[in-house]
Structures are given as C-alpha cells and as structure tokens.
A and B are shown apart, each in its own frame.
Chain A
C-alpha cells in the first residue's frame, strides 16, 4: 500500500437526493450500501461516553472524554501510542474492571443502559459486546470449540444451533473455506492471520450489538488486512463497530467517523472524510500527515 496515496473514501451514493430520515438510514445500511454522511450522522446513538475520566492508580489515563457512536456505523480511534485508545475501548465492555486500582468516573451508555450503574449485570453486558484483541488469542481448543465458546458459556447446548453459529461466523470472518474440513483441530495450529480471523469469528458468534476491535490487523500481512477490512465493511450492516488502528489508510477506508486522541484527551472527532481532508485542529493535521506521533 502506498503511504502517500490519498485516502480512499467510500463514494456517497448519488441516487439519494433527499436526506433520509433516521429510520431509513438503518434500512439503507442493511442493504449493504455505504452510509452517506447524512445517514451516518443521523444514525441513532448506540454507544455514548460522557465526561469519562479514568485513573490507573494516581495516573490519569483518560481526561473528560465525550464521544457518541451511531448504530451500524464504524468509529475509528486513532492517536499516538499510549494515548488511551485501548483504555477507552476497554471501558465500553468494562474489561478495565479486571485491573486493580482502576478508578472511573463519568458515564458510558450502551443502548439505553448506563453500564457503570451499580446494579448493572457485567456478564450480561459483555455477552452483548464482542471484542477482538490486539494480539490474537485463540483458546487452546478446537476451532469449533473456539467459535462456539461464547454460546456455550451462555448455556446453549443444542448442537444444531451451535453448528449453525459456527458456520455462519466462520463464513463472515472469511475463514470457513480454509478450515471447514478441520474444525476439530486445535485453533493454535492456524497461522497468525487465520488465528486473528478465528478470534473475529468467535466474537461474531454471539451476535453482539457492538464489536470492539483493538488493532485487529496489526499482526497481519496486507492481503489478510484487506480481507479484514472488507469484512468490517460487511459487518457494519449488522453491528456497531469501534476500531482502534494505527493505520491512517485503514481508518479512512473502513470508518464512518474518526476520533483522534492525544495524551488521554479526545482532540477531534468527526466524519472520517472531513477529518482526513479538512481537520479542524492543527494537531490532527500534523498527526495524519505523519508530522508527529
């Protein structure tokens, strides 16, 4: 991929002349056409972060973040290393609960519910979210069991349901043709790129409402990367996606919105096309043009 190439941005569909209403946006996106700017802007909010501060011990990692992610849109989080992208992502499914000495204030809403409310069911919340980690982390189990894991812990025992979910997820992750004859072999026997797609399939199997992806392509070759990007494009029809990436082209290609972080602060968020061609902040421009970070 030529780094100096101008980011490719999904072409707006020219046939839509009138601004669609919110409901229509959803229907349109399900038909597989890329969202127009307007449609993306009018998508109902799926994830909303309000005044979020996060402290690791005494060190503050996130400063007053405000961010909204629309249903069936892709939000890309970019920014230099250590700026808090992963931290924010892990706030959305409360994975930061697992770390000692984390203090969080502010609100995160997923759908209608405040996920940091005292009575919230964390397990139930995580079942509604899929997460793909920076480094592929399949279980030392068979390919089949890897994908079926999420359903199994939800108590699904029906073989037909599991079979269907495994096949569907592996097909959407673009791995089915490569593994359909060896579903009972260990997931660790796959190549790095295949393992990452296996992890994506595992996250898809439970039909999550929101898919959180932390640099899913960082360990992949360009070919596997473009497969995953196509995949994200397809997944957008059914899921809301938040993706962390260090690759500007990737952010430009796959996302509807982009948020730029710096030192734990959200510097700028907006339509990807606008942010990449005409950023409001000087800092954003410097970062995306590679002048720092």
Chain B
C-alpha cells in the first residue's frame, strides 16, 4: 500500500511520530477560535461604530438638496446604476429616515460646519440647522429644504454638531450614547434609547433560574448516583435525562405554559388572589414561570455534571468518613458534596450559558416587548415574581424583525447581541471565579 501511495520517508516518519495528529488538532482548535473571533468581531464591528458621530454631508441632486449621513453605497449591478444611501432622518417632515440616490446624480458634496443632528424623544433624530436657539423653552430647527420645526427643549436628548466636533468631542458623544444605551430606557418602540430593562430582566431571570436549577439538579444527581440501586431502571432514567437536554426548547415553553402558568399559576390565583379574578396574577406569564421553565430546560446539564463530579470524589474519602462513624448523609454532606462542588459549579456555568441565550420558551412564559415595570423595585414587596419582564434575546428578535423601522434599528440589534454575549460572559466568569475560590479552599488536588 505505502509503496503504491509512495509517501516520502520524511512524511512517513512525520505521521508515525504522531506529529500529524498534533498539527491536526492544533489546526482544528485554531479554526474554531477563528470562527469565534470572526463572529464576535463581526458583531462588534457592526454594532460599535453605530454610536460614533459620522459626518453630515450636504449634496445637490436633481430633486433638490440632501443633508444626511452616508449610510451605504452600492456598486452598479447590470442595468442598476450605482447608488448611495443617505440617512436623512426628519421622519416627521420627510416621511422616511433613509433615501437612495443614484450616485451619478450627486453633485457638490460639502460638510457644513453648522449642521447638527438633534436626538429627540419622538420621531427619531433630526438633521438640519439651528434656526433660532435663543428661547429657553423651545428650539427652532430648519431642515435642508427650508421647512422649519419648533420643538420643546425637554424633548431633546442631545444636539450633536458632528462636523464641528474633533476626536475628543466625538468621543464624549460616543460615551454618552453608550451610557444611554446601557443604562437608559427604550424609546420609539425599542429602536432608540437604552436596553437597561432588558439587561436587568435577563440577569434576574438567569439568577432565579440558577437558584432553582442547582438544588433540583443536585438532588436528582444525588439520588441517581448515591441512593438509587444501580440497575436497568436507573440506567434508563439516566439516558432519559441526557436526552431531555436535546428536546427543542419551544417544547419546554409549551410545558411551562401548560403546567406552570395554567395549572400551578391558575390554582394559586384561585386560592390566594380570587378577589382579583378574572384578571390573572400568577395565571399569566411572569419572570417566575419563565425562570422555572428555563430551570427545567437546563437541569439535565446540571444533573450530568453533578453526577460526574460525585463519582470523581475518591472512594477512599467516603470510606474514611464512614469508618469514623459518619452516616451516609453526613458523609455526603461533609465530604462528597464539598468535593463535588467545583464540578457542580461547572454544570451551573453551562446551564447559565444555555439559559441566558434561550428565547423561544420565554415568549410563551412571560417575556414582553416593553415591560411597564421591573420585577424588582422599591414598592412592596420589592420582588415581583409575577411580573412580565424584558429580555435581551427577545429584544434582538423584536427590534430586528418585528419593528416597523427595522433599517434604523439594525445597529441596535448588533449592539444588543454584543451586550447579551457580554452578559453571558460576565455571569460565567463570576461562576468560574467562585469555583476557583472554592477549589482553593478545599485544597484543590482532589479534583
């Protein structure tokens, strides 16, 4: 065989030494890293530039002057001529935010230093000039076609004279917009403003889910590994649990809706909140039901990793404990669980990563486009588990695909995605830190 293939001896030695495998696995690792970096880089590039003030260009066309930011350019395709897209804003005057113009039609591009972009609470931003800024109450603005507009000052978020700003000034605008995005409330059906309620909802839901999933998963794993008689029943059960991880998440959503909301929630309402019926309290979607549904969705992950961690606790340590007269439960509580804790937390990290990114089951169990109030606030009893909530994953779907003005919202989708990735990363880092601290405390070498 080798003679017909005629591999040079150098290569044969290379393969025999196993170097080929090393290179192959290295290449596979590099490829997956590249894909990760590419994905995150693409999202970052698309999203992060959005807040940077771009220059406002004024051009002359056959249909009159245009003032706006250049948002896209298209080369000529066959009979279609090359086109340029302007973000002209002034939705209330022009009826649209964006305009395509044949590039050949564009003449005399300029960057007027006095052009401003005014971010408003309503109707999207305005691009034009300040006609009269003398009044303390209102501001008179003039669009490029001569129409004027008077808007109250309290409707103005910020005025950005993009062409007049230096790098430092632009950086300040960038920082202020970024802060508004992270810490502000959404406006204009989520296409503007911030996503703070969604961040809050996501984090809170993941934390509630963690609180539910860890005890559930650990108890189940303890039963499977420590108490149950190992036989075919337990083997079948274990396979079932593992397969549960592969059930489509929407199925869990339906289960959450049917069981938690209608059955459990409906019963709670009849017993405790009957005076409010027919308005449901717990009998409708809410953060509690969504968290519990996600806990069910992610519990197989926790069970599997806890079982592994339990079986990794050395038998000799269990024997040492039992030989000292400890009961089985004392041994589990004092020796086995502490030894397995790092592994349990690994399971939690995986569960959180999975749970934070799920959207489908949430849509059935309590996520909304715009929540009127947060699930945690200053009014008694502070924690409102029955409230609906916002979620970054759903926010992405909603802004990107359900909003009337999806063109304007595109960068928001990328920024929200980036933020969701960041939050998952932060939650994971927190759990990993906890794990390494625990490991340091228990002495490390055992696991």
Interface set of A (CB-CB < 8 Å, partner B): 93, 95, 98, 123-131, 133, 135, 137-141, 149-150, 152-154, 186-189, 199, 202-203, 206
Question: What are the interface flags for B424-446 relative to A under an 8 Å C-beta threshold, 1 for contact and 0 otherwise?
Answer: 00000000000000000111111
On whether the beta carbons of B325 and A123 are closer than 8 Å, the reply is yes
Are B323 and A186 interface neighbours, CB within 8 A? no
Q: Give the distance to chain A from B338, nearest Cβ to Cβ, in Å.
A: 7
Q: Which residues of A contact B441 (CB under 8 A)?
A: 186
Contact at B322–A139, with CB atoms within 8 Å?
no
Decide: B316 and A133 in contact? CB cutoff 8 A: yes
A188 touches B325 (CB 8 A): no
Q: Are B324 and A186 in contact (CB under 8 A)?
A: no
A152 neighbours in B (Cβ, 8 Å):
334
Chain B residues with CB under 8 A of A131: 320, 323-324
- Complex CA–CA separation, A133 to B318 (angstroms): 12
Contact between chains at B442 and A153 (CB < 8 Å): no
Q: CA–CA, A160 to B441, complex, Å?
A: 24
Chain B positions within 8 Å of A135 at CB level: 316
CB of B326 closer than 8 Å to a CB of A: yes
CB <8 Å contact, A126 and B322: yes
Interface of B is mostly: helix
Complex Cα gap A15–B443 (Å):
52
Is A137 a contact partner of B444 (Cβ separation < 8 A)? no
Restricting to B325-340, which residues have a CB under 8 Å from any CB of A? 325-327, 330, 334-335, 338-339
Cβ-neighbour of A199 out of B320, B335, B339, B442 (below 8 A): B320
State in angstroms the CA–CA spacing of A186 and B438 once bound together.
12
Sort A-B residue pairs by CB-CB distance and give the 4 closest, nearest first.
A127-B325, A186-B443, A188-B443, A137-B316
Given known contacts A98-B319, A140-B339, A153-B330, is B324 in contact with A206 (CB within 8 Å)? yes
The answer, among A93, A139, A188, A189, for a CB contact under 8 Å with B320, is A139
> Which residue of chain B has the shortest Cβ distance to A199 in the bound complex?
B320
Bound-complex Cα distance A130 to B444 (A): 27
Q: Are A153 and B320 in contact (CB under 8 A)?
A: no
Q: Is the CB of A153 within 8 A of B326?
A: yes
In the complex, what distance in Å separates the CA atom of A249 from the CA atom of B316? 28
Q: Which residues of A contact B215 (CB under 8 A)?
A: none
B110 at the interface (CB under 8 A from A): no
B317 touches A139 (CB 8 A): yes
Are A188 and B444 neighbours in the complex by a CB distance under 8 Å? Answer: yes
Report chain B residues within 8 Å CB of A98. 319, 322
A203-B324 CB under 8 A given contacts A137-B319, A153-B334: yes
Query: Complex: how many Å from CA A253 to CA B29?
Result: 60
A140-B339, A149-B334, A153-B334 known; A186 and B442 CB under 8 Å? yes
Which residues of the partner chain A approach B85 to less than 8 Å between Cβ atoms? none
The residue in chain B whose Cβ has the minimal distance to the Cβ of A125 is B325
A95 near B325 with CB under 8 A, answer no
- Report B-chain residues with C-beta under 8 Å of the C-beta of A125: 325
Chosen A-B contacts, 11 in total, with CB atoms closer than 8 Å, are A95-B319, A123-B325, A138-B320, A139-B320, A140-B445, A141-B442, A150-B324, A150-B325, A153-B330, A153-B334, A188-B443
B392-447 with Cβ < 8 A to chain A: 441-446
A130 to B322, CA, bound (A): 11
Would you call A202 and B446 a contact (CB within 8 A)?
no
User: Which A-chain residue is minimally distant from B330 (CB atoms)?
Assistant: A153
Query: Chain B residues with Cβ under 8 A from A153's Cβ?
Result: 321, 324-327, 330, 334
Residue pair B323, A129 in contact (C-beta under 8 Å): yes
Measured CB to CB, the nearest residue on chain B to A128 is B325
| Bound-state Cα–Cα, A140 to B341, Å | 12
CA distance A112 to B334 in the complex (A): 32
State whether A137 and B314 are in contact (beta carbons under 8 Å apart), knowing that A95-B319, A149-B321 are contacts in the complex: yes
Chain B's closest residue to A134 (CB) is B316
Q: Of the candidates A95, A126, A133, A188, which one forms a contact with B446 in the assembled complex, judged by CB atoms under 8 Å apart?
A: A188
**A141 partner residues in chain B, CB cutoff 8 A:** 338, 442-443
Chain A residues with Cβ below 8 Å from B338 are 140-141
**B-side contacts of A206, CB under 8 Å:** 324-325
Contact between chains at A139 and B321 (CB < 8 Å): yes
How far is it, in angstroms, between the C-alpha of A139 and the C-alpha of B313 when the chains are bound? 10
A140 contact set on B, CB distance < 8 A: 317, 338-339, 442-446
- Complex Cα distance, B325 from A172, in Å, reads 21
Instruction: Report chain B residues within 8 Å CB of A95.
Output: 319, 322-323
Q: Smallest distance from the beta carbon of A30 to chain B beta carbons, Å?
A: 25
Complex: chain B residue closest to A188, CB-CB: B443
Instruction: Give the residue of A123, A130, A139, A202 whose beta carbon is less than 8 angstroms from that of B335.
Output: A139
Question: How distant is the Cα of A95 from the Cα of B441 in the complex, in angstroms?
Answer: 30
| B326 nearest CB across to chain A (Å) | 4
Given known A-B contacts A137-B319, A140-B446, A189-B443, A127 and B324 have beta carbons under 8 A apart: yes
Could you tell me if A149 and B442 are in contact, using CB atoms closer than 8 angstroms?
Answer: no
- Determine which residue in A95, A127, A149, A152 has the highest number of CB atoms from chain B within 10 A of its CB, and name it: A149
* Residues of chain A lying within 8 A (CB to CB) of residue B339: 140
Known: A149-B334, A186-B442, A188-B444. A123 touches B320 (CB 8 A): no
* A98 and B318 alpha carbons, distance in the complex (Å): 10
**Chain B nearest Cβ from A140, distance in angstroms:** 4
When distances are taken between beta carbons in the complex, the residues of chain B under 8 Å from A93 are: 323
Residue of B nearest to A189 (CB): B443
**Please, how many angstroms separate the alpha-carbon atoms of A188 and B441 in the complex?**
11
Residues on A with beta carbons closer than 8 Å to the beta carbon of B316: 133, 135, 137
Question: Contacts A133-B316, A137-B314, A139-B317 given: A126-B443 contact, CB under 8 Å?
Answer: no
Residue of A nearest to B441 (CB): A186
Pick from A123, A187, A202: contact of B443, CB under 8 Å: A187
Q: Which of B269-319 contact A (CB under 8 A)?
A: 314, 316-317, 319
Closest residue on chain A to residue B333 by CB atoms? A153
